[in-house]
Structure 1
């Protein structure tokens, strides 16, 4: 199975999926996707950390120096805009959420999402919208590739 999701939506989608109360069959489809989304989010976090390490003031161990407020300082403040542009590009880029699951998983996800009946608002509503669009696109591609 393969779904493309924006990096900046991985955590909200993982939160949405983990909070869904579902019947067993739908829960299985959701849980398999949740594991894949969490793996993609770990890769994204590692990419973000690597980016920070490229621009941050580093300690003797090569790790970013974090101040008491939880932020880091840029090693070269002149490169602030360059860092923020690179970070924005990373957050807006698309993550491939893929892995072996089971035959019909995308169809089950589409059905699960189409039948999901809980009220959503805020970040959960946005995550749901992104997930529905991505699942629909992946399912369409899967059908056209067959």
Structure 2
């Protein structure tokens, strides 16, 4: 039993799920699902950092050279590499991440209930991700977890 999401969907999905208020087993199901997605996001973030090191200035210890302005962090591109880097970043963002739900199966119905019963106000990207997650989970449930 597996579920797939694009790398670019992981962080906003975590943020959306963190806004879901639930009680008891339903809350636990949401928390466990967030942990699964967070693990995939951490891998994606590390992959992106490694990718950027190919296109950006790095210091003597191999870390990205960054500057911060008004709370935003910026990398320093190697000359002529920014366009190539953006293409590579987009390719990485559009890679699918497969999440194995085998061990999560006992919590699946509680996650669906938590999402169904949520009174969180969602709009824009959050609403789209909510719909995407629920559609995929309901599809898994309707197929009997297969």
What TM-score, normalized by structure 1, do the two folds share? 0.81
Moved more, 23-32 or 2-11: 2-11
Count of aligned pairs: 143
Supply the distance in 2 between the matched residues of 1:84 and 1:35 (Cα, whole angstroms). 28
Higher helix share: 1
Alignment correspondent of 1:129: 131
Alignment correspondent of 1:41: 41
Partner of residue 74 from structure 2, selected from 64, 67, 71: 71
Unaligned runs of 5+ in 1: none
Task: Provide closer, same or farther for how the CA distance between residues 101 and 73 of structure 1 changes in structure 2, counting only shifts above 3 A.
Answer: same
DSSP-derived class of the 2:108 partner: helix
Higher strand share: 2
- Residue 100 (structure 1) shift: 5.9
Q: RMSD in angstroms over aligned alpha carbons?
A: 2.3
Q: How does 1:83-98 map to 2 (within 5 A)?
A: 83-98=85-100
Q: Is the 8 A contact 1:26 1:112 kept in 2?
A: yes
Q: Is the 8 A contact 2:21 2:118 kept in 1?
A: no
